[in-house]
Amino acid sequence: MRTIAVAMCATFVVSGCATPTGIKDVMLPLAVVRKVVMENVPGGLSKQSMNGREILGQYFNAKNLDEPSDTALDRARAKISILGSRRPYLITATVYRERRSKDSKRYRKLGEDPRLAQQVLKRVKEALANRPADINVIDDFRAF
């Protein structure tokens, strides 16, 4: 009986890790969130979706978030999504890694890297917390 309970707990823990990680309960206006994300996407902004909620960065060195790179042996690319129709928003990040063989110019996809995604989310979370206090009278006004 005890082995069944341990197996069930192990299954729960493994399935719990598969959920997307992100920054929860972001209560800032969408325009502020988008601006902060676009300024802090590793490698710089590449493109964004029509509604501005999916932001794709340029390639960056997988060993250094601050080093843009198209020619490194290991490179990565971050995709940051702002989820939710209204506040509070959820910000998620997915980082895709690629590796180039030394004798070729082609890159081979390695898949997602959750460790780098956590670093990207940490950077965005710190930027959201340290943003300058801007006065937005219309958006921050509360009647009651």
Q: Is residue 91 part of a domain?
A: yes
pLDDT at position 118: 96
Q: Is residue 64 part of a domain?
A: yes
pLDDT at position 133: 60
| Section 11-40 average pLDDT | 75
Q: Tell me the CA distances in angstroms from 108 to 74, 81, 97, 104, one per residue in order.
A: 10, 24, 9, 10
Token digits for 86? 């209204």
pLDDT at position 53: 96
Pairing of strands 107-112, 54-57: unpaired
What are residue 96's DSSP bridge partners?
77, 112
Q: Is residue 138 part of a domain?
A: no
Which residue type is seen at 134? D
Q: Is residue 37 part of a domain?
A: yes
Q: Is residue 77 part of a domain?
A: yes
**Residue 13 predicted with pLDDT over 90:** no
Q: Is residue 63 part of a domain?
A: yes
Higher-confidence position of 104 and 14: 104
Q: Is residue 26 part of a domain?
A: yes
| Section 103-119 average pLDDT | 93
Give the model's confidence band at 34: pLDDT under 50 very low, under 70 low, under 90 confident, else very high.
very high
How far is the C-alpha of 108 from the C-alpha of 115, rounded, in Å? 19
Token digits for 47? 């493109």
- How many domains does the chain divide into? 1
Q: Is residue 49 part of a domain?
A: yes
Q: Which domain holds residue 127?
A: 21-132
Considering the entire predicted model, what is its pTM?
Answer: 0.77
**Residue 109 predicted with pLDDT over 80:** yes
Residues with Cβ < 8 Å from 23, sequence gap 6 or more?
90, 91, 121, 124, 125, 128
